[in-house]
Structure 1
Amino acid sequence: MNNSRRMLLKAIAAGVAAPMASSVHAQGTVRRLIAGFTPGSVSDTVARVLSERLKLTSGDTYLVENRLGAGGLIAAQSVIRAEPDGKSILVHSSAFTVAPLLRPKMIDTANLTPLIALASAPTVLVTYPGRRIKTFQGLIEYARANPGKLFAASAGIGTSSHMNLERLKYAARIDITHVPMKGSPDALNEVIAGRADVYFAALAQALPYIKDGRLIPLAIGSPNRTPLLPDLPTTVEAGYPGSEYLAWFGALISTATPAPLMSRLYTDFKTVLDEPDTKRRLVDLACDPMSMSQAEFSELIRKEFVSNAKLIKEANIKI
């Protein structure tokens, strides 16, 4: 067989294979990851990383859809109201254990079942170099001497950046004025521009600005130090137990979803999360992969509802 005939046969084979592959792909289900926060936020980026990997491994098409508002509860409502067919999956954050407490009439959390924990994100308390505050202890001392005169930006009421702030205020017995913004990009810009004094930022969000000197890191707000800033202590290590906050991202699904389908979706997500490439991409986002069973994730959420309800009452947090 001459070379030209071989090339012709290969071209014919490729032409037959392409529609076959297309047909197989078309048989997959289109599923939506409903993200309750702004494009470019860490939770949104995590959702997009997963959607890419899930498309490759599950045979289904995953699309990310942002539905903003009410601390992620607009997104939660859309998943609750959708058919329980696994085509609508909520990607939320630790704010899920806060927002329903602040807006109890919006959703019944019993209508959503935790599917799988995706990742946690270290938080870092940052300030603007033009401020007089250069250290964490300096912040505490200034706040005590000048109650209410420091301004802390957050991504919104009930978000992890807000709750991290409230935990620190309560643990250190300080008064810092909270300034809620419409998302994490806006909150970060407020500090960079010098309009806010401090902000508990996701490390992935703040790290480039820390490296180029536009932000000063004061302390880690998460339970543990991060290898990306190994010499920076946590707020607990600085002497304020109870000030830490675990910022996590996870997937939840309609409780009415049939058990076999829920199990299959859990397996699809777990397979992707266990892949070295996914873990690498999460680490590149300064996120820590979370290894939890569905039951363990449910228990984490249950405990957080209890602790956050207590903090909301003690700190008198209201919408």
Structure 2
Amino acid sequence: MSTPTHPFLSRVLKSALLGCFILGGSSVAMAADSDAPVQVVSNASTYRFIVGFGAGGIPDLGARLIAEKLAERQGVPAVVINRPGVGGTMAAQDVLAAPADGTTILSVTPAHATAPAIYREMRYDTLNDFAPVTLIGDGPALLVVPSDSAYATLEDLIDAARANPGGLDYSSAGVGSSTHFAAELLKQQADIDVLHIPYRGVSEALTEVMASRVDFTMAPYVAAVEYVKEGRVRALAVTSRERVEEMPDLPTAMEAGLPDYEWAFWYGLLVPAQTPDETVQRLHQETAAILRLPDVGGRLEEMGVTVSADSPEAFQQLLEAEYEKFKQIAEEANIVPE
């Protein structure tokens, strides 16, 4: 199975990957040589995947797919523990409190990089206290409106917002969530003033759109696509650089009037920074091989995730770029840390 990198990520990761190939030490290159199991931790009794969100989302489902195969290949149990709370920071703290031996793994989303922008007192350093294992992949957002909305295009929505500053509103999965930041970036690039109404998760944010109680939301593709197909919401744009095969008539935000707008929800795995480098590389090699399995990578792609299995070095570069991007969005949107 091929594992193409999403165009959004390819620009960020290109230099890191090129450096790895030049040095000849890329863990991606090593993993590509063979997908045979590689022992990660010789004396492991259990592998634990800690997810900072509830069951059912991509961070949870991705961790479960990988954990199941890791258990088979390593011959020891691998469990998934959901630890929702405070934007994923509770789960991150749990991972840092565990032994740095490669057996406790954090499943992350962009919320890991947005946390410093919205929480005044962080108990850890987002970039330096963790070691990247692999970027699992990413997927775009859909900008959706109620099925009975008067707005047929993104241009219609933007024109209405400009004509009535503060008169339109949007729902999000919560203050500081990726959906919040995605909409704030849209506001900044479209130069519009719309009201943010936070809810407790993507499901609630979408429910408010379906009930016509808000004007729009920016939802992960996988969370909204079925509602679009069922006619319960209407999609105005997708946030990838190219149109999605499943909806060939749906324009990108770039095509629909925002030439610089691009957004991706990404998913990855981290371990504590003190984990030995050799263990991190073996864990990357093993998880990358698992992601290439048709019943793992194929399932993720069915859920709208473009699988990448990129190297720890490339994932670190993405984290650093996203950290800076979210910091800038938060400053411009006046998102005040709690």
Q: TM-score range by the shorter chain?
A: 0.7 to 0.9
Q: Which residue of 1 aligns with 2:256?
A: 238
Are 1:180 and 2:198 an aligned pair?
yes
Q: Which residue of 1 aligns with 2:12?
A: none
TM-score, normalising length: structure 1:
0.87
Counterpart mapping for 1:112-151 below 5 A? 112-151=130-169
Residue ranges of structure 1 left out of the alignment (5+ in a row)? 1-26
In 2 relative to 1, CA 223–291 (structure 1 residues): closer, same or farther, beyond 3 Å? Answer: farther
Identity of aligned residues (%): 37
Q: Give the distance between the partners of 2:120 and 2:312, measured in 1 at CA.
A: 25
After TM superposition, the structure 1 stretch with the greater mean CA deviation from structure 2, 270-279 or 44-53, is 44-53
Q: Which residue of 2 aligns with 1:308?
A: 326
Q: What displacement does 1:52 show?
A: 2.1
Q: Which residue of 2 aligns with 1:19?
A: none
Aligned pair partner of 1:218 in 228, 236, 250: 236
Q: Which residue of 1 aligns with 2:62?
A: 46
Q: What displacement does 1:89 show?
A: 0.8
Aligned pair partner of 1:108 in 109, 121, 125: 125
1:178 match: secondary structure: strand
Q: How many residues were matched structurally?
A: 293
Are 1:197 and 2:227 an aligned pair?
no
1:279 match: secondary structure: helix
Q: Which residue of 2 aligns with 1:272?
A: 290
Contact 2:68 2:78 in 1 (8 A): yes
Residue ranges of structure 2 left out of the alignment (5+ in a row)? 1-42
Q: What displacement does 1:286 show?
A: 1.2
Q: Whose radius of gyration is greater, 1 or 2?
A: 1
Q: Which deviations, in whole Å up to 9, do the C-alpha atoms of 1:131-152 show, x marking residues without a partner?
A: 2222211111111112222221
Q: Which deviations, in whole Å up to 9, do the C-alpha atoms of 1:68-104 show, x marking residues without a partner?
A: 1221111111111222122221101012111122224
Aligned pair partner of 1:251 in 269, 276, 292: 269
Contact 1:220 1:233 in 2 (8 A): yes
Q: Give the distance between the partners of 2:287 and 2:243, measured in 1 at CA.
A: 27
Q: What displacement does 1:43 show?
A: 2.0
Q: Give the distance between the partners of 1:153 and 1:221, measured in 2 at CA.
A: 17
Q: Give the distance between the partners of 1:233 and 1:72, measured in 2 at CA.
A: 32
Q: Which residue of 2 aligns with 1:11?
A: none
Q: What displacement does 1:229 show?
A: 1.4
Q: Which residue of 2 aligns with 1:57?
A: 73
After TM superposition, the structure 1 stretch with the greater mean CA deviation from structure 2, 86-95 or 55-64, is 55-64
